[in-house]
Amino acid sequence: MQSLQTQLESTCRLIQNEIGIGKVANYIPALAQVPPDKFGAAIVTVTGETALVGAAQEAFSIQSISKVFALTEALNLHGINLWNRVGREPSGNAFNSIVQLEKEKGIPRNPFINAGALVVTDALLGNQSTEDCTGKLIASVQTLASDSSILINTTVAESERATAYRNAGLAHFMQSFGNLNRPVNDVLDVYCQQCAIAMSCEQLARSALYLANNGTDPLTGKQIVDEERARRINAMMMLCGHYDASGEFAHRVGIPGKSGVGGGIIAVVPNIAAVAVWSPCLNANGNSHAGTAALENLVRLTKWNVL
Ligand code: GLN
Protein backbone atom coordinates (compact mmCIF):
# COMPACT_ATOMS: atom_id res chain seq x y z
CA MET A 1 0.00 0.00 0.00
CA GLN A 2 1.47 3.36 -1.07
CA SER A 3 1.61 6.15 1.48
CA LEU A 4 -0.93 8.95 1.18
CA GLN A 5 1.84 11.34 0.13
CA THR A 6 2.97 8.98 -2.65
CA GLN A 7 -0.60 8.53 -3.84
CA LEU A 8 -1.16 12.29 -4.02
CA GLU A 9 2.16 12.82 -5.80
CA SER A 10 1.47 10.19 -8.45
CA THR A 11 -2.04 11.59 -8.96
CA CYS A 12 -0.71 15.08 -9.49
CA ARG A 13 2.06 13.89 -11.80
CA LEU A 14 -0.62 12.48 -14.12
CA ILE A 15 -2.29 15.85 -14.64
CA GLN A 16 0.75 18.09 -15.18
CA ASN A 17 -0.31 18.68 -18.80
CA GLU A 18 -3.74 19.90 -17.70
CA ILE A 19 -2.31 22.84 -15.73
CA GLY A 20 -2.82 26.08 -17.65
CA ILE A 21 -5.73 24.77 -19.74
CA GLY A 22 -8.76 27.04 -19.43
CA LYS A 23 -8.96 30.68 -18.35
CA VAL A 24 -8.19 32.52 -15.12
CA ALA A 25 -11.33 34.39 -13.94
CA ASN A 26 -11.07 38.02 -14.98
CA TYR A 27 -14.51 39.47 -14.25
CA ILE A 28 -13.12 40.21 -10.78
CA PRO A 29 -10.11 42.29 -11.89
CA ALA A 30 -7.83 41.31 -8.97
CA LEU A 31 -8.24 37.60 -9.75
CA ALA A 32 -6.88 38.12 -13.26
CA GLN A 33 -3.45 38.84 -11.71
CA VAL A 34 -2.99 35.27 -10.44
CA PRO A 35 -0.39 33.28 -12.45
CA PRO A 36 -2.20 30.62 -14.55
CA ASP A 37 0.35 27.85 -13.94
CA LYS A 38 -0.19 27.49 -10.18
CA PHE A 39 -1.15 24.11 -8.80
CA GLY A 40 -1.50 22.79 -5.28
CA ALA A 41 -3.21 19.89 -3.56
CA ALA A 42 -3.68 18.79 0.06
CA ILE A 43 -5.29 15.88 1.85
CA VAL A 44 -6.00 15.89 5.58
CA THR A 45 -7.39 12.64 6.97
CA VAL A 46 -9.74 12.27 9.92
CA THR A 47 -6.81 10.81 11.86
CA GLY A 48 -4.74 13.93 11.17
CA GLU A 49 -2.42 12.59 8.49
CA THR A 50 -1.54 15.26 5.91
CA ALA A 51 -0.25 15.03 2.35
CA LEU A 52 0.79 18.11 0.37
CA VAL A 53 1.82 18.66 -3.24
CA GLY A 54 2.93 21.78 -5.17
CA ALA A 55 1.70 25.14 -3.90
CA ALA A 56 -0.39 23.50 -1.17
CA GLN A 57 0.61 26.10 1.40
CA GLU A 58 0.09 29.18 -0.77
CA ALA A 59 -3.03 31.23 0.02
CA PHE A 60 -5.47 31.97 -2.80
CA SER A 61 -8.94 33.48 -3.06
CA ILE A 62 -11.45 30.88 -1.89
CA GLN A 63 -14.41 32.66 -3.54
CA SER A 64 -17.47 30.38 -3.66
CA ILE A 65 -15.91 27.75 -1.40
CA SER A 66 -16.81 30.26 1.32
CA LYS A 67 -20.47 29.46 0.61
CA VAL A 68 -20.03 26.15 2.45
CA PHE A 69 -18.81 27.91 5.58
CA ALA A 70 -21.52 30.59 5.34
CA LEU A 71 -24.21 27.92 4.90
CA THR A 72 -22.89 26.05 7.93
CA GLU A 73 -23.09 29.21 10.04
CA ALA A 74 -26.52 30.22 8.74
CA LEU A 75 -27.97 26.76 9.43
CA ASN A 76 -26.58 26.88 12.94
CA LEU A 77 -28.19 30.30 13.39
CA HIS A 78 -31.58 29.73 11.76
CA GLY A 79 -32.01 25.96 11.57
CA ILE A 80 -34.44 24.61 9.01
CA ASN A 81 -36.19 28.01 8.69
CA LEU A 82 -33.38 28.97 6.31
CA TRP A 83 -34.95 26.65 3.74
CA ASN A 84 -38.01 28.92 3.54
CA ARG A 85 -35.82 31.46 1.77
CA VAL A 86 -33.56 29.29 -0.37
CA GLY A 87 -34.16 25.98 -2.16
CA ARG A 88 -32.28 22.70 -2.24
CA GLU A 89 -32.33 21.80 -5.90
CA PRO A 90 -29.63 21.95 -8.56
CA SER A 91 -30.17 24.98 -10.78
CA GLY A 92 -28.84 23.68 -14.08
CA ASN A 93 -27.76 27.26 -14.74
CA ALA A 94 -24.59 29.28 -14.40
CA PHE A 95 -23.55 30.38 -10.91
CA ASN A 96 -24.50 34.00 -11.56
CA SER A 97 -27.66 33.40 -13.59
CA ILE A 98 -30.83 35.40 -12.93
CA VAL A 99 -33.24 33.52 -15.24
CA GLN A 100 -34.98 31.28 -12.68
CA LEU A 101 -35.44 33.99 -10.07
CA GLU A 102 -38.42 35.66 -11.69
CA LYS A 103 -40.40 32.47 -12.26
CA GLU A 104 -39.57 31.23 -8.77
CA LYS A 105 -40.51 34.50 -7.08
CA GLY A 106 -37.13 35.49 -5.72
CA ILE A 107 -36.40 32.16 -3.98
CA PRO A 108 -33.03 30.97 -5.34
CA ARG A 109 -32.67 27.30 -6.24
CA ASN A 110 -29.87 26.54 -3.76
CA PRO A 111 -27.38 28.21 -1.40
CA PHE A 112 -24.38 27.72 -3.70
CA ILE A 113 -25.47 29.75 -6.73
CA ASN A 114 -24.78 33.44 -6.19
CA ALA A 115 -28.42 34.38 -5.59
CA GLY A 116 -28.71 31.71 -2.90
CA ALA A 117 -25.44 32.71 -1.29
CA LEU A 118 -26.61 36.33 -1.11
CA VAL A 119 -29.72 35.19 0.79
CA VAL A 120 -27.53 33.16 3.14
CA THR A 121 -25.34 36.21 3.74
CA ASP A 122 -28.45 38.29 4.45
CA ALA A 123 -29.59 35.64 6.94
CA LEU A 124 -26.17 35.72 8.62
CA LEU A 125 -26.25 39.50 8.84
CA GLY A 126 -29.48 39.68 10.84
CA ASN A 127 -29.30 42.95 12.78
CA GLN A 128 -25.51 43.03 13.12
CA SER A 129 -23.15 45.52 11.56
CA THR A 130 -21.48 44.33 8.38
CA GLU A 131 -18.13 44.44 10.23
CA ASP A 132 -19.37 42.22 13.04
CA CYS A 133 -20.84 39.74 10.59
CA THR A 134 -17.64 39.54 8.54
CA GLY A 135 -15.58 39.30 11.72
CA LYS A 136 -17.64 36.36 12.99
CA LEU A 137 -17.40 34.56 9.69
CA ILE A 138 -13.63 34.86 9.48
CA ALA A 139 -13.36 33.78 13.13
CA SER A 140 -15.42 30.67 12.42
CA VAL A 141 -13.24 29.81 9.42
CA GLN A 142 -10.14 30.27 11.60
CA THR A 143 -11.66 27.89 14.14
CA LEU A 144 -12.49 25.30 11.48
CA ALA A 145 -8.96 25.47 10.13
CA SER A 146 -7.37 25.70 13.61
CA ASP A 147 -5.40 28.59 12.20
CA SER A 148 -5.80 32.18 13.38
CA SER A 149 -3.57 33.54 10.61
CA ILE A 150 -6.33 33.29 7.96
CA LEU A 151 -7.33 36.71 6.60
CA ILE A 152 -9.42 38.45 3.98
CA ASN A 153 -7.51 39.73 0.95
CA THR A 154 -8.85 43.29 0.94
CA THR A 155 -7.57 44.02 -2.57
CA VAL A 156 -9.69 41.17 -3.92
CA ALA A 157 -12.67 42.17 -1.77
CA GLU A 158 -12.56 45.78 -2.99
CA SER A 159 -12.03 44.70 -6.58
CA GLU A 160 -15.11 42.47 -6.49
CA ARG A 161 -17.18 45.04 -4.62
CA ALA A 162 -16.37 47.73 -7.18
CA THR A 163 -17.51 45.50 -10.05
CA ALA A 164 -20.35 43.55 -8.41
CA TYR A 165 -22.90 44.55 -11.04
CA ARG A 166 -24.36 41.10 -11.54
CA ASN A 167 -24.62 40.30 -7.84
CA ALA A 168 -26.19 43.73 -7.22
CA GLY A 169 -28.75 42.88 -9.90
CA LEU A 170 -29.55 39.54 -8.27
CA ALA A 171 -29.82 41.14 -4.83
CA HIS A 172 -32.13 43.97 -5.98
CA PHE A 173 -34.30 41.46 -7.78
CA MET A 174 -34.65 39.32 -4.65
CA GLN A 175 -35.33 42.39 -2.57
CA SER A 176 -38.27 43.22 -4.85
CA PHE A 177 -39.73 39.84 -3.82
CA GLY A 178 -39.10 40.54 -0.13
CA ASN A 179 -36.37 37.90 0.17
CA LEU A 180 -33.67 40.21 1.57
CA ASN A 181 -34.02 41.87 4.94
CA ARG A 182 -31.00 44.16 4.76
CA PRO A 183 -30.13 46.82 2.19
CA VAL A 184 -28.46 45.42 -0.93
CA ASN A 185 -25.24 47.33 -0.20
CA ASP A 186 -24.83 45.72 3.22
CA VAL A 187 -25.35 42.24 1.79
CA LEU A 188 -22.87 42.88 -1.03
CA ASP A 189 -20.31 44.31 1.42
CA VAL A 190 -20.28 41.13 3.49
CA TYR A 191 -20.57 38.78 0.51
CA CYS A 192 -17.54 40.29 -1.24
CA GLN A 193 -15.47 40.09 1.96
CA GLN A 194 -16.50 36.49 2.48
CA CYS A 195 -15.52 35.48 -1.06
CA ALA A 196 -12.13 37.21 -0.65
CA ILE A 197 -11.00 35.05 2.28
CA ALA A 198 -7.52 33.80 1.37
CA MET A 199 -6.61 30.24 2.29
CA SER A 200 -4.21 27.54 1.17
CA CYS A 201 -5.17 24.01 0.12
CA GLU A 202 -3.82 22.73 3.43
CA GLN A 203 -5.97 25.18 5.41
CA LEU A 204 -9.03 24.42 3.28
CA ALA A 205 -8.74 20.65 3.59
CA ARG A 206 -8.29 21.04 7.35
CA SER A 207 -11.31 23.33 7.61
CA ALA A 208 -13.60 20.91 5.73
CA LEU A 209 -12.68 17.96 7.95
CA TYR A 210 -15.87 18.26 10.02
CA LEU A 211 -17.85 17.37 6.91
CA ALA A 212 -15.82 14.17 6.52
CA ASN A 213 -16.44 13.26 10.14
CA ASN A 214 -20.21 13.52 10.62
CA GLY A 215 -20.11 17.17 11.69
CA THR A 216 -17.44 16.96 14.39
CA ASP A 217 -13.87 18.17 13.89
CA PRO A 218 -11.98 14.91 14.50
CA LEU A 219 -8.80 16.67 15.58
CA THR A 220 -10.28 18.98 18.21
CA GLY A 221 -13.42 16.99 19.08
CA LYS A 222 -15.53 20.13 18.61
CA GLN A 223 -18.98 19.54 17.15
CA ILE A 224 -19.54 22.04 14.32
CA VAL A 225 -22.91 20.68 13.16
CA ASP A 226 -24.85 17.54 14.07
CA GLU A 227 -24.56 14.38 12.00
CA GLU A 228 -27.74 14.97 10.04
CA ARG A 229 -26.76 18.53 9.12
CA ALA A 230 -23.32 17.40 7.97
CA ARG A 231 -24.95 14.80 5.74
CA ARG A 232 -27.20 17.47 4.27
CA ILE A 233 -24.40 19.94 3.60
CA ASN A 234 -22.53 17.15 1.83
CA ALA A 235 -25.65 16.34 -0.20
CA MET A 236 -25.89 19.98 -1.22
CA MET A 237 -22.24 19.96 -2.30
CA MET A 238 -22.76 16.81 -4.33
CA LEU A 239 -25.85 18.15 -6.11
CA CYS A 240 -25.05 21.86 -6.46
CA GLY A 241 -21.37 22.42 -5.61
CA HIS A 242 -20.27 22.87 -9.23
CA TYR A 243 -23.33 24.75 -10.56
CA ASP A 244 -24.43 23.54 -13.98
CA ALA A 245 -21.48 21.13 -14.05
CA SER A 246 -22.44 19.39 -10.78
CA GLY A 247 -23.59 16.31 -12.67
CA GLU A 248 -20.32 16.26 -14.57
CA PHE A 249 -18.32 16.49 -11.32
CA ALA A 250 -20.36 13.67 -9.74
CA HIS A 251 -19.84 11.61 -12.89
CA ARG A 252 -16.09 12.14 -12.97
CA VAL A 253 -15.18 12.43 -9.28
CA GLY A 254 -18.11 10.97 -7.32
CA ILE A 255 -17.62 12.75 -3.99
CA PRO A 256 -19.17 15.96 -2.62
CA GLY A 257 -17.22 19.02 -3.77
CA LYS A 258 -17.42 22.80 -3.86
CA SER A 259 -15.56 24.96 -6.31
CA GLY A 260 -14.68 28.66 -6.44
CA VAL A 261 -13.67 30.94 -9.32
CA GLY A 262 -10.29 31.42 -7.63
CA GLY A 263 -9.58 27.90 -8.94
CA GLY A 264 -9.96 26.06 -5.64
CA ILE A 265 -12.10 22.99 -4.95
CA ILE A 266 -12.77 21.29 -1.63
CA ALA A 267 -13.96 17.71 -1.63
CA VAL A 268 -15.18 15.47 1.16
CA VAL A 269 -14.48 11.76 1.52
CA PRO A 270 -16.88 10.66 4.27
CA ASN A 271 -15.16 9.05 7.25
CA ILE A 272 -11.76 9.28 5.57
CA ALA A 273 -10.50 12.73 4.59
CA ALA A 274 -11.03 16.20 3.18
CA VAL A 275 -9.14 17.22 0.05
CA ALA A 276 -8.42 20.62 -1.45
CA VAL A 277 -6.94 21.40 -4.85
CA TRP A 278 -6.05 24.69 -6.51
CA SER A 279 -5.29 25.64 -10.07
CA PRO A 280 -6.63 28.99 -11.30
CA CYS A 281 -7.46 28.17 -14.94
CA LEU A 282 -11.20 27.47 -15.16
CA ASN A 283 -13.34 25.50 -17.57
CA ALA A 284 -16.40 27.02 -19.24
CA ASN A 285 -18.52 26.39 -16.12
CA GLY A 286 -16.14 28.34 -13.88
CA ASN A 287 -14.58 25.29 -12.18
CA SER A 288 -10.83 24.54 -12.01
CA HIS A 289 -9.82 22.44 -15.01
CA ALA A 290 -6.66 20.88 -13.59
CA GLY A 291 -8.13 20.71 -10.08
CA THR A 292 -11.04 18.60 -11.29
CA ALA A 293 -8.67 16.35 -13.23
CA ALA A 294 -6.51 15.88 -10.11
CA LEU A 295 -9.50 14.92 -7.99
CA GLU A 296 -10.72 12.54 -10.68
CA ASN A 297 -7.37 10.74 -10.69
CA LEU A 298 -7.05 10.74 -6.92
CA VAL A 299 -10.43 9.07 -6.52
CA ARG A 300 -9.63 6.58 -9.27
CA LEU A 301 -6.45 5.60 -7.42
CA THR A 302 -7.86 5.57 -3.88
CA LYS A 303 -11.38 4.35 -4.73
CA TRP A 304 -12.70 7.05 -2.39
CA ASN A 305 -15.78 7.63 -4.54
CA VAL A 306 -19.12 7.40 -2.77
CA LEU A 307 -21.03 7.00 -6.07
N1 GLN B 1 -17.35 36.04 -5.70
C2 GLN B 1 -17.73 35.32 -6.87
C3 GLN B 1 -18.99 35.91 -7.49
O4 GLN B 1 -19.87 36.29 -6.77
C5 GLN B 1 -17.93 33.88 -6.52
C6 GLN B 1 -18.34 33.04 -7.70
C7 GLN B 1 -17.69 31.70 -7.70
O8 GLN B 1 -16.69 31.45 -7.07
N9 GLN B 1 -18.25 30.83 -8.52
O10 GLN B 1 -19.11 36.00 -8.67
| Helices first, then strands: H and E counts in the chain | 13, 10
pLDDT at 7 over 90: yes
For position 256, what pLDDT does the model report?
98
For position 259, what pLDDT does the model report?
98
Q: How many Cα atoms are found within 13 Å in the side-chain-facing hemisphere of 59?
A: 11
pLDDT at 290 over 90: yes
pTM: 0.98
- Encode pLDDT of 60-107 as tens digits: 999 999 999 999 999 999 999 999 999 999 999 999 999 999 999 999
For position 307, what pLDDT does the model report?
80
Q: Mean pLDDT over residues 26-49, rounded?
A: 97
The answer to whether 191 is a known catalytic residue is yes
The answer to whether 67 is a known catalytic residue is yes
Residue 150 pLDDT grade (very low, low, confident, very high; cuts 50, 70, 90): very high
* Sheet containing strand 273-278, strands side by side: 50-54, 40-45, 273-278, 264-269, 257-259
The answer to whether 105 is a known catalytic residue is no
- Encode pLDDT of 116-145 as tens digits: 999 999 999 999 999 999 999 999 999 999
* Angle (deg, nearest 10), helices 130-145 and 114-125: 110
261 lines ligand 1 (CB under 6 A): yes
Taking Cα atoms as reference points, which of 87, 86, 123, 78 lies closest to residue 225? Answer: 78
For position 15, what pLDDT does the model report?
97
The whole-angstrom separation of Cα 69 and Cα 151 is: 14
111 lines ligand 1 (CB under 6 A): no
